[in-house]
Structure 1
Amino acid sequence: MIAVPADSLPSETLTIPSRVVDPALARPLTIKASYYPAPATTLAAAPLVVFNHGSTGQGAERGRIPRHAMLRYESQARYFHARGFAFLAPMRRGRGESEGDYLESYAWDALKLAEGLQHALDDVDAVVEFMRRRPEIDGRRILVAGHSRGGLLSVAYAGRHPAGVIGSISFAGGWIAERGMMEDFNREVFVRAGAGAETPSLWLYAENDRHHSMATIRRWHDGYTGAGGNAELYLFGPIEDDEGHQLLERPGLWQSAMDAFLHQLGFFW
């Protein structure tokens, strides 16, 4: 049943089977996701945004966000809802109310980072394909978007599934904070994504992002576009909250850029 809290968008929690079967349960582990249906005025099947969360904190402590907390991204859902989109915010395995272990390593080890990214990509693919089969969703018009780890994850997913989505959006995207040689891990993911991407991408960063310098972000963008990707990069001025990493909470800054990107994809309202 769809719950309608005061001053909130209509929403419900979906249970989505992951790609991983738990032998003890004899079924796939489940992914929980906050779902905001498209406006009731939508006449045909609606476009969908799948919004991917960031790391949620350090792995050893199960994250600075409580283990069972669901990140619902309602303010971002409002922006897309007003433009006719359905919006889904899944919690990957081991986070929120999703089952399983959190396997997205924080170790300064490229192999472990790559394994964690693959776990995350598997979860995104399970979610996208589940939603594609829903009758109220237009499976030909799915966007992947996200914040921090979820931003890089969305760009990487679009590069690996070029026929599956119509574009990707990255808010402050990066899998691991800039530190020594690990910065190269992010760039290599973006280069690989650019080589496979067939749809546009939108990258949004604040100049004072606490995890990534502007020089590094430009280097990632150069790598992505040099490999063949099409990405529009916006670098906004410094913002105060969380040293720039929470740009997604400032729609007044990015709304015009997002509107232009959606128009580029053929959406008008």
Structure 2
Amino acid sequence: MEIVTAKPKDVGPHPTIVFNHGSTGRGQNKSLYSRTVAPTVVANYFVERGWMALFPQRRGRGKSGGVYGEGLAIDGSGYSCDVDIAIAGFERAVEDVDAVVSYLRDQSDVDQERLVVGGVSRGGVLAIAYAGMRPNTFRGSINFNGGWLGRGCPNHESVNPLLFERGAGAGVPTLWLHGNFDQYYSIAHCRGNFDKFRSAGGQGTFLAAPTGHALMFKPALWSEHVGQYLREVAK
């Protein structure tokens, strides 16, 4: 598995975030599968604050081995709206995060007591859910514009809240950052996901920003909020 690492210049160990990438849009353009995703704006933000940032490329993505198979339709038409196929793709992604966590345990420059998981889009819901599915692994979870199926699939109304609820048992604070004008997930849908997560026992803060799915690339809208959150979870 390819893992892009950005870390401070000092020896460490460093508080560390595992940041998970999203989908490839509609899943139809296979040339995007081999593109490594490690957003510089995110890497720089964390490194400047003394954090190490890891950007794992899940199976079949970037330079990682294996075949990409996160909920793709059998006929090659892109991501499937079928609930069973979508959830199976999510479960496959969870297995890849398991592999990353196993890798982390052997790294001397990682502060094992200050680990946070984060991600964008599919990586955002993966981050929230994983924290609950594997409790006592991460001290926090940050979600940028999270969701597994977009509004183009009617089943997104059932699949996304179901997956987010898996994170409710984490017992750690979470931060949800969403755009009011996201083309994949309406802000009402995102708030609904958060409300169901909270109703199931999850802890978190929800923030809406005046932008769309590109929120991650506009740190002026989230820098202060994430900074405060990191100070709280890394005490």
TM-score range, shorter chain: over 0.9
The structure whose Rg is larger is: 1
For 1:180, what is the secondary structure of its paired residue?
coil
Structure 2 Cα separation of the partners of residues 181 and 93 of structure 1 = 25
Q: Deviations over 1:30-80 (max 9, x none)?
A: x1011112331x5x41111111000023334326x2x32211212111111
Structure 2 Cα separation of the partners of residues 61 and 233 of structure 1 = 32
8 Å contact kept, 1:132–1:138: no
Structure 2 Cα separation of the partners of residues 58 and 252 of structure 1 = 28
Query: Which residue number corresponds to residue 114 of structure 1?
Result: 87
1:37 maps to which of 1, 4, 7: 7
Query: Which residue number corresponds to residue 3 of structure 1?
Result: none
% of aligned pairs identical? Answer: 37
AA at the equivalent of 1:157: Y
Higher relative contact order by CA 8 Å / sep ≥ 6: 1 or 2?
Answer: 2
Residue 252, structure 1, aligned to residue 220, structure 2: yes
- Could you state the TM-score of these two structures normalised by the residue count of structure 2? 0.92
8 Å contact kept, 1:133–1:139: no
For 1:212, what is the secondary structure of its paired residue?
coil
Query: Which residue number corresponds to residue 22 of structure 2?
Result: 54
Superposed displacement of residue 203, structure 1: 0.5
- Could you state the TM-score of these two structures normalised by the residue count of structure 1? 0.81
RMSD: 1.4
What 5-or-longer segments of structure 2 have no aligned partner?
72-78
Query: Which residue number corresponds to residue 19 of structure 1?
Result: none
AA at the equivalent of 1:69: R
Query: Which residue number corresponds to residue 202 of structure 1?
Result: 175
For 1:93, what is the secondary structure of its paired residue?
coil
Structure 2 Cα separation of the partners of residues 181 and 117 of structure 1 = 14
Query: Which residue number corresponds to residue 199 of structure 2?
Result: 226
Structure 2 Cα separation of the partners of residues 228 and 115 of structure 1 = 25
Structure 2 Cα separation of the partners of residues 214 and 56 of structure 1 = 21
Query: Which residue number corresponds to residue 28 of structure 1?
Result: none
Q: How does 1:81-230 map to 2 (within 5 A)?
A: 81-105=47-71, 106-178=79-151, 179-194=153-168, 196-230=169-203
What 5-or-longer segments of structure 1 have no aligned partner?
1-30
For 1:157, what is the secondary structure of its paired residue?
helix
Structure 2 Cα separation of the partners of residues 39 and 265 of structure 1 = 22
Q: How does 1:60-71 map to 2 (within 5 A)?
A: 60-62=28-30, 65=32, 67-71=33-37
AA at the equivalent of 1:36: A
How many pairs align? 227
Q: Deviations over 1:207-227 (max 9, x none)?
A: 000011121111101100110
